[in-house]
Structure 1
Amino acid sequence: MGMKSKVVLGAVAGIAVIAAVSANSGDAEGGSTGKGSSASAQQQAGGSKADGTSDTKSEDKDVEKASQAEQFKAFVQKNGTAKEKEAVSHVTKVQGADEQNNILDAADVYTDFTGGILGEGTGPAKLIASAFADWKQSDNGLVTVYDADGELLGNGKF
């Protein structure tokens, strides 16, 4: 393994440790005021027709059969901004989004960007990580975005 790879892996491990420590030193009152609470309220409120019946059951069955990447893209197409939609259109694969235990959740998002951390995908990677945090919530989650060659583009908490 090259020296650059070792440095990047060390940085990712350090960020994961910092994220774990900071997540456990949060709100002692138990109140929820973060982005996750507003996203949860939005998810619970949607999906009703004019006659009061819900049409999300058939949509949920179709979404559950889709891959994690397709589920993520569908969520962003429905709820994301124009820039998030553009960034997420480059997503090719999502791993680890369905396995959450709220202790140390980690998800990987792979894209078709090239050039690693110095390439054109660094900015969109932050948008992808932000959109992922809107899609999935965890007490202590870390999403990592990679380019087409498997090089790190960015990461974020979810």
Structure 2
Amino acid sequence: MGMKTKVALGAVVGIVVIGAVSANSGDTDDGSTGKGSSASAQRQSGDAKSANDAGSKGSDGKNTEKASQAEQFKAFVQKNGSPQEKKAVSHVTKVQGADEQNDILDAADVYTDFTGGLMGEGAAPAKLIASAFADWKQSENGLVTVYDANGELLGNGKF
């Protein structure tokens, strides 16, 4: 295949993906008849419940603000995870993209305090973190990527 054909084919695929994402991002209709709508509604209500359970508390014991994604993730793993997952997730410093899902191209990033990249100490725990993330959030087509303290890739997994 020629270079021009590859570039044209890549452009067409890119336009189709962008069109699909934009078509689903503007959907604000609460009533839905799709087969995934009830599961999506249950998942959203479950996420809202876990967000309320994991809310940060002030000195007076009342919820003062919504917990960060990392705090919500850690609270979920502390409640539901294995001892190995709990130890691995204790190194999580930041989670991005977990709250914005459209089941088409979901991507979340988890940052840790490990160092050394793929060959460092965090490569094995990164798989545990990705697995725990998949238990926390579900998506039709999600990818979670785990990074070290320097932003180097440690691992990834589907969720």
- TM interval, shorter chain, is 0.5 to 0.7
Which ranges in structure 2 are unaligned for 5 or more consecutive residues?
1-38, 57-64
Deviations 1:58-81 (A, max 9, x none): 944727800000000000000000
Pairing of 1:59-74 with structure 2 (within 5 A)? 59-60=52-53, 62=55, 65-74=66-75
Percent sequence identity over matched residues?
79
2:155 aligned partner = 154
CA separation of 1:65 and 1:126: change in aligned 2, threshold 3 A: same
Deviations 1:32-87 (A, max 9, x none): xxxxx9xx89x97xxxxxxxxxxx68944727800000000000000000000000
- Report SS of the residue matched to 2:84: helix
- The range that moved more, 143-152 or 59-68, is 59-68
When Rg is computed on C-alpha atoms for both structures, the one with the higher figure is: 2
Structure 1 residues 58 and 142, CA, compared in 2 at 3 Å: closer, same or farther?
closer
Partner of 2:19: none
Q: CA deviation at 1:88?
A: 0.1
RMSD: 2.7
Matched, 1:144 2:145: yes
Q: In the comparison of the two structures, how many residue pairs are matched?
A: 110
TM (normalized to structure 1)? 0.63
> Contact 2:85–2:129 at 8 Å: present in 1 too?
yes
Match of 2:79 in 1: 78
Question: Equivalent residue for 1:120?
Answer: 121
Counterparts of 1:61 and 1:92 in 2: how far apart (Å)?
Answer: 16
CA distance in 1, matches of 2:137, 2:105: 14
Higher relative contact order (CA 8 A, sep 6+): 1
Inter-partner Cα distance in structure 2 for 1:57 and 1:136: 11
CA distance in 1, matches of 2:120, 2:51: 40
Structure 1 stretches of 4+ moved >2 Å: 56-64
Match of 1:131 in 2: 132
* Letter aligned with residue 141 of structure 2: N
Gaps of 5+ in 1: 1-36, 45-55
Q: Separation in 2 of the partners of 1:57 and 1:94? A: 16
- Distance change >3 Å, CA 86–CA 102, structure 1 → 2: same
Summarize the Cα distance change of 1:149–1:75 in structure 2 as closer, same or farther, 3 Å threshold: same
TM-score (norm 2): 0.62
Taking the TM superposition and a 5 Å limit, the aligned residue runs for 1:19-38 are: none
2:107 counterpart SS class: strand
